[in-house]
Structure 1
Amino acid sequence: AIAARGPDFIVECGASAVLAPMFRRVTGVDPERVVHVADGAGVEKLARLAREAA
């Protein structure tokens, strides 16, 4: 259902990645556009993806 909506990216926020690894395996979802944000590196990746999508 999520892949059918064609999201630019999928973001999971929290201390540990639970959903992000599962979303990366969903057919139709670009695994490079699934981001787990728990620290500065995650924020930087999300910011980069947002700039690319704009």
Structure 2
Amino acid sequence: MLSDTSIATGIGEGFVTFVLIKAVKGRAREVHPLRWTVAGLFVVHIALGPAKILLNLG
């Protein structure tokens, strides 16, 4: 999924996966707003890798 692998990446993927599973199961209200925020920030972080490659930024 990501170009780099680290413990932080794995934790981020876990946050995103947890939130997505809760949302798909119709239990999104059970997820704390801070967890939604952290998951969203990790999605942005994950998307920056391919975006940089596409835009030849590094």
TM-score band by shorter chain is under 0.3
More helix by share: 2
- TM-score, with structure 2 as normaliser: 0.26
